[in-house]
Structure 1
Amino acid sequence: MMRIATGEEAEVLTSDGKNAAAVSLGKKGGAARAKSMTPERRSEIAKKAAAKRWTKG
Structure 2
Amino acid sequence: MDRASMEAEHVGTLDLAGLAAFKIEDSDLAKALAMMGKAIDLRESAKRTESQSISFSYA
Q: TM-score range by the shorter chain?
A: 0.3 to 0.5
Q: TM-score if structure 1 supplies the norm length? A: 0.40
Q: TM-score if structure 2 supplies the norm length? A: 0.39
Q: Which of these two proteins has the greater Rg computed from alpha carbons?
A: 1
Q: Which has the higher helix share?
A: 2
